[in-house]
């Protein structure tokens, strides 16, 4: 493992994207959001994505410096076309649009289509919660066939994330953020680069055999080579049997079909679609009941007697808060293979050896 100081990592990743045609502002935005994913323990959506993003940029699957376009605009609803820009650039625009409309109307919905990889969806729930708003997000990834539906072995779904954010007075928000697969594809990527191993049976091969070997998804690969999920014979499994598979199906229809991004299918350009709803609690909760009830019920859950082997019962967001504090203080740990792949990408786009050494110092 190599541990990189947070500011060093942001500066270094920003330099990589600056050398790959992104404006300084966009490059730093991408770097900050990717590093934040690592800080919260979501390494699958963190800087391990740098080689993938740069590869997508080279092949035209993502386009630097895009300005999103509002193609439908009503007082409470908008449709935003990301025009295949980096998700870390176009998604904040869409979320701000939803926030502004919600603050005027009390309720809003925004459909984001054709966005590059939007990263950790919890970032967007946190953004809304910082403005005092509840938000619900349905996401899909068109062109990213990764997950077998319940009862099947063939890839038919994306990892189809679902996320809810709830603000709390004077505290960090409650954020529930998960892929509807047993693991996100990024976690398979992390495992393939020397990181945390996959849970038993997270993958299924074409013959129905359960597996936790990343090559089932990617096919044969070298330690620092690319990972291509179209080369493997198997798929990721949906979590929770029919329930996770059903929720993924809904994310495909709402985040994909309804937004205009399209539900997932093979042979298409990668794009995230997201349908997000925003609610202003102040408009609903005229008696100021909500905040106190959140506190009461959160305490009630945490006071549950834990089962053997569990220290304490947690609520959504607790692990991320703990990890953020620890990694902000101590730095971001990265497997050697992951760091080597990022460094190789940096060299490919022209980042100097001095910058590489400075990042790791």
Identify the three-state secondary structure at position 273. strand
**Per-residue confidence (pLDDT) for residue 262, from 0 to 100:** 97
Average pLDDT value for residue range 186-212: 94
**Per-residue confidence (pLDDT) for residue 235, from 0 to 100:** 97
Residues 74 and 36 in one domain: no
Q: Is the pLDDT of residue 148 over 90?
A: yes
Give residue 176's domain range: 69-284
- Say which CATH number the domain at 352 has: 1.10.1530.10
Could you give the CA distance from residue 273 to residue 238 in angstroms, rounded to a whole number? 19
Residues 108 and 26 in one domain: no
Average pLDDT value for residue range 223-227: 86
Q: Is the pLDDT of residue 96 over 90?
A: yes
Q: Residue 194 — very low, low, confident or very high, per pLDDT cuts 50/70/90?
A: confident
Residues 101 and 214 in one domain: yes
Residues 264 and 215 in one domain: yes
Give percent above pLDDT 90 in the chain: 94
Residues 28 and 136 in one domain: no
Domain boundary among 253, 284, 315: 284
Average pLDDT value for residue range 208-220: 96
Residues 86 and 155 in one domain: yes
Top pLDDT among 229 and 98 is at 98
Q: Is the pLDDT of residue 225 over 90?
A: no
Average pLDDT value for residue range 134-155: 96
Residues 28 and 163 in one domain: no
Q: Is the pLDDT of residue 137 over 90?
A: yes
Q: Is the pLDDT of residue 101 over 90?
A: yes
> Does residue 316 sit within a domain?
no
Q: What is the pLDDT of residues 341-351, one digit of tens each?
A: 999 999 999 99
**Per-residue confidence (pLDDT) for residue 224, from 0 to 100:** 79
Q: What is the pLDDT of residues 81-95, one digit of tens each?
A: 999 999 999 999 999
Q: Which of 154, 160, 114 is nearest to 268 (CA)?
A: 114
The per-residue pLDDT of the chain, averaged, comes to 96
Residues 237 and 104 in one domain: yes
Number of domains in the chain: 2
Can you list the pairs that 29-34 forms with residues at least 24 positions away whose Cβ atoms lie under 8 Å? 29/86, 29/88, 29/89, 29/92, 30/86, 30/88, 30/89, 32/88, 33/88, 33/119, 33/120, 33/123, 34/88, 34/119
**Per-residue confidence (pLDDT) for residue 176, from 0 to 100:** 97
Could you give the CA distance from residue 49 to residue 226 in angstroms, rounded to a whole number? 11
> Does residue 312 sit within a domain?
no
Q: Is the pLDDT of residue 186 over 90?
A: no
Q: Is the pLDDT of residue 357 over 90?
A: yes
In the chain, DSSP assigns E strands to: 2-4, 69-73, 77-81, 107-115, 134-142, 147-148, 162-168, 171-178, 203-204, 210-211, 235-237, 271-279, 332-334
- Say which CATH number the domain at 188 has: 3.30.1370.60
Could you give the CA distance from residue 306 to residue 297 in angstroms, rounded to a whole number? 17
Q: What is the pLDDT of residues 23-53, one digit of tens each?
A: 999 999 999 999 999 999 999 999 999 999 9
Q: Is the pLDDT of residue 297 over 90?
A: yes
* CB count in 10 Å sphere of residue 322: 13
**Per-residue confidence (pLDDT) for residue 130, from 0 to 100:** 98
**Per-residue confidence (pLDDT) for residue 73, from 0 to 100:** 98
Average pLDDT value for residue range 216-228: 91
Q: Which of 37, 238, 17, 55 is nearest to 118 (CA)?
A: 37
Top pLDDT among 223 and 147 is at 147
Residues 54 and 140 in one domain: no
Domain boundary among 216, 249, 284: 284
Under 8 Å between Cβ of 167 and 175 = no
**Per-residue confidence (pLDDT) for residue 246, from 0 to 100:** 98
Could you give the CA distance from residue 289 to residue 317 in angstroms, rounded to a whole number? 22
Residues 97 and 177 in one domain: yes
**Per-residue confidence (pLDDT) for residue 221, from 0 to 100:** 93
Residues 203 and 346 in one domain: no
Task: Report H helices in 87-162.
Answer: 87-105, 122-129
**Per-residue confidence (pLDDT) for residue 163, from 0 to 100:** 98
Average pLDDT value for residue range 325-348: 96
* CB count in 10 Å sphere of residue 200: 10
Residues 164 and 189 in one domain: yes
Under 8 Å between Cβ of 332 and 4 = yes
* CB count in 10 Å sphere of residue 199: 14
**Per-residue confidence (pLDDT) for residue 298, from 0 to 100:** 97
Under 8 Å between Cβ of 294 and 174 = yes
């Amino acid at each position: 493992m190599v541990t990189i100081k947070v500011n060093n990592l942001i500066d270094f990743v920003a330099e990589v994207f600056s050398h790959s045609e992104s404006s300084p502002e966009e490059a730093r935005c991408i770097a900050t959001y990717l590093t934040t994913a690592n800080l919260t323990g979501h390494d699958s959506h963190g800087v391990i994505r740098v080689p993938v993003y740069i590869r997508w940029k080279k092949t035209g699957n993502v386009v630097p410096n895009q300005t999103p376009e509002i193609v439908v605009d009503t007082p409470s609803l908008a449709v935003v076309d990301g025009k295949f820009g980096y998700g870390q650039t176009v998604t904040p625009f869409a979320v701000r649009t939803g926030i502004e409309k919600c603050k005027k109307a009390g309720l809003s919905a925004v459909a984001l289509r054709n966005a590059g990889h939007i990263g950790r969806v919890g970032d967007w729930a946190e953004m809304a919660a910082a403005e005092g708003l509840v938000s619900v997000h349905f996401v899909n990834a068109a062109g990213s066939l990764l997950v077998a539906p319940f009862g099947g072995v063939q890839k038919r779904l994306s990892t189809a994330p679902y996320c809810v954010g709830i603000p709390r007075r004077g505290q960090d928000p409650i954020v529930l953020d998960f892929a509807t697969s047993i693991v996100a594809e990024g976690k398979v990527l992390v495992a393939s680069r020397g990181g945390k191993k996959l849970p038993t049976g997270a993958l299924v091969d074409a013959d129905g055999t359960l597996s936790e070997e990343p090559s089932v998804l990617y096919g044969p690969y070298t330690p620092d080579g690319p990972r291509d999920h179209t080369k493997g014979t198997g798929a990721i499994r949906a979590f929770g049997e029919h329930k996770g598979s059903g929720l993924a199906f809904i994310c495909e229809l709402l985040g994909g079909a309804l937004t205009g991004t399209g539900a997932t299918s093979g042979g298409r350009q990668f794009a995230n679609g997201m349908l997000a709803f925003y609610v202003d609690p102040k408009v609903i909760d005229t008696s100021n009941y909500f905040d106190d009830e959140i506190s009461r019920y959160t305490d009630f859950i945490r006071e549950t007697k834990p089962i053997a082997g569990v220290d304490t019962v947690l609520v959504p967001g607790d692990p991320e808060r703990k990890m953020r504090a620890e990694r902000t203080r101590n730095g971001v740990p990265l497997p050697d293979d992951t760091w080597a792949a990022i460094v190789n990408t940096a060299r490919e786009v022209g980042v100097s050896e001095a910058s590489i050494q400075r990042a790791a110092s």
